[in-house]
Structure 1
Amino acid sequence: MDTLRLIFSTLCRSVNPMYFSLYSGPHKVEEACEMYCRAANMFKMAKNWNAAGNAFCQAARIHMQLQNKHDSATSFIDAGNAFKKSDPNEAIKCLNAAVDIYTDMGRFTIAAKHHITIAEIYESELVDIEKAIAHYEQAADYYKGEESNSSANKCLLKVGAYAAQLEQYAKAIEIYEQVGSSTMDNPLLKYSAKEYFFKASLCHFIVDELNAKLAVEKYEEMFPAFSDSRECKLLKKLLDAHEEQNCEAFTEAIKEFDSISRLDQWQTTMLLRIKKTIQGDEGDLK
């Protein structure tokens, strides 16, 4: 390890940008860039992630000085991947720098991919859901612009799920209806449409029982296969139980459904919110 540190120190001193700026030939700057990359990879081998990230950032800046935009973006991505292991905020800065370069180059699909990576850091490391939503939305916009509708829908579904959790139900409903409508005529994806209409209905239900009834009717008319789905039948049972303020019937309908088709955490959360609107109910779903 001491030997590596000595090599690192020597490399970093020898690639001082001020030193290379004294030379008129671009080959010296290219040499500096190469040495920063070597240093970064050696730092990675030693699992010194901050130092690796900083070295990759220096390489990225030199690449930009040489007008090597693609190489600059790649180095910023390498820096971001290193910083992800030690400093999420620095990782985001580097990834955003790469995204700016890719969008300037018109590489929107790859920019979208890295917006997703940023969103995931906000989700898992920084727990800033609002910012995660913003990056998923930006990724979806870029994917749509490139006609990558399936990838766009995956991003939108993340936005819809988080919007509902944050009680932004109108936004969630709009997304689930949009994705459901775009998939119901696709032979390979139409099976998923019932799930999206089910989720939209749950969001309607939390806001207002009548809204939910009207929404279910609309989805049945739009997508006749929804009428025969277990999700639609559950919704109708829940609407009846809710109208009668029958907490027991509400719970039994959910238990019956869950015994065959397991409810996920998001669905369980939404159903619990609906159940709590039944007068006097403070209990669990099961």
Structure 2
Amino acid sequence: MAMSTNSDREAKARQLMAEADKKLTSFNGLFGNLLGKPSNAVEEAIDLYIKAGNQFKMCQKWDLGAKVFTTAARLQSRTGERHESATSYVLAANCFRKYEPYEAIGCLTKVIEIYEELGRLAICAKHHTTVAEIYETHLHDTDTAVKHYQSAADCYRAEHSLASANKCLLFVANSAALSGQYQRAIDTYEEVAKHCIESSLLKYSAHNHFMRAALCHICIDLLNGELAIKRYEDLFPAFSDSREYKLVNTLIGKLDDNDIIGYTAAIKAYDSISRMDPWFVSILLTIKNKYNTDSDPDMK
């Protein structure tokens, strides 16, 4: 049996779409009077559109796939099939993501609205995260991505999914710090760290969150940093034995002595054991520039 080619799939999809259009045409007054339970013709048309969309997906005709899935979603919405409508909007969004991210966001926004009304907040959170990823990756709009990560975190917390909420909040905190919103970053890191302390599985990740919060404090004021790590010790005594605490404490001492060479050496020593990600590099350079006006080409 010969395998179907993309041209075969596209031809089949177009035929299915034509059959669906014909069924709708035969249903008089569809778009003006769709109320209550759908007729068999409408149900059959929806099924045909979805089958057509799947064929369009297989041959990578993303624009046509998006068109028929969106049509199916609208029909399902008008006939009260809300779950089914949300599913079709997600399928449409997946197609739109291939070539038109704003349209994908529009579809996912409808999905979020449906599930909010149904009280399915964990699903809302999942789609807020997807929207955030589109803004972050495709549209390079970090500010809007942050808003959706925050919304996702709020939804996850409402469903008591704290681990998932924390992942979203860490993006919010990291972005806030890099944009100079240090107090917002501090508040968010501390919130996540406190959640972690309460979990036997997550408590040691609190070291990293407290470290990030302390560095943000230092970006504001050195004394803020000193007071913060003392407070973090009181909240989580194990923090004082961590490499993260020891590094922050050392950096505060070096900055207090205006010893930028020692500051740089302490960072390099830490980095040789625990590789720092770009966030740390950026924040540590910000701190170095704040407390020292001399150039230090070795600080990389």
TM-score, structure 2 as length reference: 0.90
Counterpart for residue 124 of structure 2: 111
Give identity over the alignment, percent.
42
Shift of the alpha carbon at 1:201? 0.3
1:58-92 deviation digits (Å, cap 9, x = unpaired)? 01111112211111000001111111122111111
Which one of the candidate residues 19, 28, 31 is aligned to 2:25? 19
Q: Deviations over 1:131-156 (max 9, x none)?
A: 11111111111111111111111111
Q: 1:260 to 1:4 in 2, by over 3 A?
A: closer
Q: Does 1:58 align with 2:56?
A: no
In structure 2, C-alpha distance between the alignment counterparts of 1:257 and 1:101, rounded to whole Å: 48
1:228 to 2:241 alignment: yes
Q: Closer, same or farther in 2 for the Cα pair 1:62/1:20, shift >3 Å?
A: farther
TM-score of the pair, normalised by structure 1 = 0.95
Gaps of 5+ in 2: 1-5, 31-37
1:11 is displaced (CA, Å) by 3.5
Structure 1 equivalent of residue 224 of structure 2: 211
Question: Are 1:95 and 2:108 matched, yes or no?
Answer: yes
Matched residues in 2 for 1:206 and 1:180: separation? 19
Matched, 1:241 2:246: no
Counterpart of 2:33 in structure 1 is: none
Instruction: For 1:171-182, list aligned pairs within 5 A.
Output: 171-182=184-195
Q: 1:121 aligns with which of 128, 134, 145?
A: 134
Q: Displacement of 1:57 after TM fit? A: 0.5
C-alpha change, 1:91 and 1:217, in structure 2 (3 Å) is: same
Query: What is the correspondence of 1:1-286 to structure 2 with a 5 Å cutoff?
Result: 4-16=9-21, 19-22=25-28, 26-284=39-297, 285-286=299-300
More deviation, 110-119/273-282? 273-282
8 Å contact kept, 2:9–2:58: no
The one-character-per-residue Cα deviations of 1:28-55 (angstroms, maximum 9, x if unpaired) are: 1111101111111111111011110111
Does the 8 Å CA contact 2:125/2:156 hold for their aligned counterparts?
A: yes
Mapped contact 1:20–1:32 kept (Cα < 8 A): no
Distance in structure 2 (CA, Å) of the matches to 1:75 and 1:110: 15
Q: Is the 8 A contact 2:54 2:65 kept in 1?
A: yes
Residues 20 and 29 in structure 1, CA contact (< 8 A), matched pair in contact too? no
Listed as ranges, the gaps of 5+ residues in structure 1 are none
**Aligned-residue CA RMSD in angstroms?**
1.7
User: C-alpha distance in 1, partners of 2:29/2:251?
Assistant: 76
**Aligned length in residues:** 286
